[in-house]
Amino acid sequence: MYTRRDALARSAAVAGIMASAGLLPTAAQAAWNQAAFEAKNMADALKALGGAAPTETKDVTLTGPDIAENGAVVPLACACALPGVKRLMLMVEKNPNTLAAVFDVSDAVEPNFATRVKMGQSSNVFAVAMMSDGKVLFAQKEVKVTLGGCGG
Amino acid sequence: MADPMRIRAQAAGDKATVRVLMSHEMETGQRKDSAGKPIPAWFIQQVTAQHNGKTVLEAQWGPAVAKNPFLQFIVKGAKAGDKIAISWLDNRGDKRTDEATVT
Amino acid sequence: MMQITRVVLAGLAAAAVVAGCASGGMSQDLDAEFAAMMKSSFRDEGIAKTDRLQQDLAQAACSSPKPPAPEVAKRIEAEAMATIKWPTGGQYFGNWAAGEKLAQSGVGMAWNNETTDPSTNGGQCYNCHEISKQEISFGTIGPSLYHYGKNRGVKDVAAPESAPVVQYTWSKLWNSKAHVACSNMPRFGHMHLLNETQIRDLMSLLLDPRSPVNQ
Amino acid sequence: MKPKWTLLAGAATLVALPVAAQKSSAEGIAEYRKMLEDGNPAELYEVKGEALWKQKRGPKNVSLEACDLGKGPGVVKGAWVELPRYFADTGRVQDVESRLVTCMSTLQGFDADKLAATPFGKGEMANITALATWISGQSRDMPFALSQAHPLERKFYALGEKAFYYRAGPMDFSCASCHGEEHKRIRLQDLPPLYKNPGDGLGIAAWPAYRVSNGQMWSMQLRLNDCLRLQRFPYPKFGSDVTTALAVYMGVNAKGAKSIAPALKR
């Protein structure tokens, strides 16, 4: 069984090895798409990422809560049942910038990712798949963000 | 230096589910401090995962990913004893790599 | 500053007497130790000074799992009723939309707030009450206020037959202890938590037939 | 450890229930919490806390491994669910955080007053929170079992009860205003009834906890501090007797309740 102690002991050493082997992502390799992350809607984000107009489909699944107890942490998962997925993305319609995360799918991972996003208010969220044939597919759902606590 | 990540990689059948927690502020750049001054954006932009040294996942994140980020993905063909390494790079150029063994 | 007559209790022994507790030697010792503990444990921070720990009659009498004796409760209610300031010019109503905003906000009077000016405070209503159906995030410490005016037959807030419920609601908001000695509800007018304008807005939220509360 | 597949199982459930609107708010919130269960960022603080416990630090450059949390020097497992308790060496009833201050001062040579005056989330106080987080996790699933053997422990229970019901301040609130009845909530958050055993993993049995609303790790001292802030009380000093007395009151009431700390909270 993997323990936390192992994690601690290894992490420092591993960082050194990977850095010397040039395996860390570096600014030079940076593929961070600023235009996509600054887009204010799904269409602009997709344009910046070189994607076509999206089609809604049941083959992309988006998992998330109907109600978020707090918008600071909203669990979302995206997956695609079709072969030939190049990229999966998570987007939040009413956030200041729509695009939240992009996952590049390789043959070695399943097109199925989960993370947690921030939401400023109740909104539609999207899971978007870019396919190797150029098609762009998406699924959506509404997540209600509630106010909680004493609010003081 | 950034605090260590917490990585769990558990094999089931011919694949392994990897769950990662990263220690990071993920500051959006949209908030103001108590004096009304904008707090500059500070967030992880790129995440890379490797299975036994081979890159299997590259991700780009924006500031909308929640503080102390969580990531879950499934690596095909990974078995107990394999190594999973995760690296992140933030918009200030800070980076961190941690490794775990698949159980 | 607050213009409230406080029953300043030197030791807290007096509180126990008011609350109808036994006042044997043990309990008096404990009261003295409790007072000393409270004094040494807290410090001033911003607007929240240690004088906030001094209790008035209602606070002292309601600081026990046991309710106060009936005559004490009656006295608290009568004294609270006498504090009620009726609205200037008989103007009970304001703007329900402003009232809804106040009901949503829980801000005010904590050590991290800059001022005790009521105009910066919220009413905290949704923390404890269901109010309009649109807001699904509501508390249950207080009763549901959905259809508050409608359930009480208020069709026109200015009609003479509405007067009793209008006055009751104003007095409840101003000093809840006028009706229930140990009510959990803050005394919004009496303790300067909200000003008259704000209370008018809450009155409209609760009673105006056009308010979402009464839809 | 078996993989839990919480999120994936959740996916199947969601697909099977297309008419989301028919779910009650409470069910929706329960589902949200379930989705966050796996992968609590509190784990990051546990990792940090364990490292801090073992690391040689402070003016004397020693670790905390000889710190006595009540079960003997260095015994961490099970310590959390017995705190606060009476310590003969200090002659005081102490909670985990005030005990950590004692150990950091006597063993490591830190200045106890400076530690206690450090704001939450900053410097050594952030370290104390991480240590408390790890220590609490070492008693996970264990039942609360505070001692009432020493007279001072019994006195603190009585003082805690008085503090729990003490109404004061501009809003007349006491702890009991919110936690004095069963089945109440503020907004959508359930309020544990703290005058009795609120049940496994509720009330004191859930703190320290990671707060998703602000992304902060909250210790019991900070939990109480913020409750008292929202009671509109003046500022409770770190490790003060009122905070310890309240923790004794809650801890004794919670006898037998299983700890889930460190938990995840709104």
Let me know whether D155 and D231 are in one domain: yes
Indicate the average pLDDT of chain B: 96
Let me know whether D133 and D157 are in one domain: no
Please give the residue range of the domain that contains residue D187.
151-265
- Looking at the complex, does the CB of residue B60 fall below 8 Å from at least one CB of chain A? yes
Let me know whether D65 and D129 are in one domain: yes
Which residues does D contribute to its contact with C (CB < 8 Å)? Answer: 25, 155, 158-159, 162-163, 165-174, 176-178, 180-181, 183-188, 191, 195, 229-230, 232-237, 240-243, 245
Mutation site for A-interface testing, chosen from C105, C127, C134 by largest number of A Cβ within 10 Å: C127
The count of structural domains within chain B is: 1
If one counts every other C-beta atom within 10 angstroms of the C-beta of residue A106, the result is 17
Residue bearing tokens 């539609």: A124
Superfamily designation of domain A29-145:
SoxY domain (2.60.40.2470)
Let me know whether C172 and C113 are in one domain: yes
Kindly provide the ipTM of the predicted complex, given to two decimals.
Answer: 0.87
Return the bridge partners of A62, or none: A78
Phi first, then psi: give them for residue C53, nearest 5 degrees: -80, -10
Parallel/antiparallel/unpaired status of strands A54-56 and A136-145:
parallel
Residue C186 maps to a domain: yes
- Looking at the complex, does the CB of residue A66 fall below 8 Å from at least one CB of chain C? no
Indicate the average pLDDT of chain C: 91
Task: Read off the pLDDT band of A16 (50, 70, 90).
Answer: very low
| DSSP state string for C115-137 | ---GGG----HHHH---STT---
Indicate whether C12 pLDDT > 90.
Answer: no
Mutation site for C-interface testing, chosen from D172, D173, D221, D253 by largest number of C Cβ within 10 Å: D172
Task: Read off the pLDDT band of B40 (50, 70, 90).
Answer: very high
Q: Provide the CATH number for the domain around residue B21.
A: 2.60.40.10
> Taking a C-beta distance cutoff of 8 angstroms, is the pair A105, A94 a contact?
no
DSSP structural state of residue D168: B
Q: Can you tell me the mean pLDDT for C151-155?
A: 97
- Looking at the complex, does the CB of residue A70 fall below 8 Å from at least one CB of chain C? no
Read off the pLDDT of residues C39-84 as tens digits, 9 standing for 90 and up: 999 999 999 999 999 999 999 999 999 999 999 999 999 999 999 9
The whole-number pLDDT of residue B80 equals: 97
Let me know whether C108 and C141 are in one domain: yes
Tell me whether residues C124 and A150 touch, CB distance under 8 A.
yes
The whole-number pLDDT of residue C28 equals: 83
Read off the pLDDT of residues D72-131 as tens digits, 9 standing for 90 and up: 999 999 999 999 999 999 999 999 999 999 999 999 999 999 999 999 999 999 999 999
D113: closest CA among D97, D102, D123? D102
Read off the pLDDT of residues D1-50 as tens digits, 9 standing for 90 and up: 343 434 333 333 333 333 444 478 889 999 999 999 889 999 999 999 99
Let me know whether C56 and C94 are in one domain: no
Of the partner residues A66, A114, A144, the one whose CB lies closest to the CB of residue D7: A114
Let me know whether C96 and C162 are in one domain: yes
Number of H helices, E strands in chain B: 0, 7
Read off the pLDDT of residues D233-246 as tens digits, 9 standing for 90 and up: 999 999 999 999 99
Of the partner residues D195, D234, D241, the one whose CB lies closest to the CB of residue C65: D195
Residues 34-93 (D) with a CB less than 8 A from some CB of A: 35-36, 43, 46-47, 50-51
Q: How far apart are CA D1 and CA B17, in angstroms?
A: 13
The count of structural domains within chain D is: 2
Q: How far apart are CA A98 and CA A43, in angstroms?
A: 10
> Taking a C-beta distance cutoff of 8 angstroms, is the pair C154, C165 a contact?
yes
DSSP structural state of residue D108: T
Read off the pLDDT of residues D130-187 as tens digits, 9 standing for 90 and up: 999 999 999 999 999 999 999 999 999 999 999 999 999 999 999 999 999 999 999 9
What would the two tokens of residue A137 be? Answer: 């597919």
- The residue type of D203 is G
The whole-number pLDDT of residue D4 equals: 40
In sequence order, the 6+-apart residues with CB closer than 8 A to the CB of B89 are A24, A25, A26, A27, A30, B44, B45, B46, B95
What's the pTM? 0.89
Please give the residue range of the domain that contains residue B37.
6-101
Q: Provide the CATH number for the domain around residue C178.
A: 1.10.760.10
A124/chain C closest Cα distance in angstroms: 18
Task: Read off the pLDDT band of B2 (50, 70, 90).
Answer: confident
Q: Taking the CA atoms of chain D, what radius of gyration do you get in angstroms?
A: 19
Q: Is D227 considered catalytic here?
A: yes
The whole-number pLDDT of residue A30 equals: 56
Let me know whether D157 and D218 are in one domain: yes
Residue D24 maps to a domain: no
Residue B1 maps to a domain: no
A88: closest CA among B59, B50, B78? B59
Q: How far apart are CA C155 and CA C162, in angstroms?
A: 8
Let me know whether C197 and C139 are in one domain: yes
DSSP structural state of residue D68: B
Tell me whether residues D36 and A77 touch, CB distance under 8 A.
no
Indicate whether B98 pLDDT > 80.
Answer: yes
Please give the residue range of the domain that contains residue C160.
88-214
Can you tell me whether residue D193 is helix, strand or coil? coil
Residue D208's Cα: distance from chain center in Å? 3
C60: closest CA among C79, C46, C82? C79
Q: How far apart are CA D245 and CA D161, in angstroms?
A: 8
Measured at the alpha carbon of residue C88, what is the angle toward residues C86 and C91, in degrees to the nearest 5? Answer: 90
Residue C76 maps to a domain: no
Q: How far apart are CA D160 and CA D166, in angstroms?
A: 10
Reported as type and span, the H/E element at residue A17 is: helix A4-20
Q: How far apart are CA C100 and CA D30, in angstroms?
A: 27
- Looking at the complex, does the CB of residue A149 fall below 8 Å from at least one CB of chain C? yes
A6, HSE (Cβ side, Cα atoms, 13 Å): 11
**Which chain A residues are within 8 Å of C131, Cβ to Cβ?**
none
**Which chain A residues are within 8 Å of D8, Cβ to Cβ?**
77, 112
The whole-number pLDDT of residue D9 equals: 38
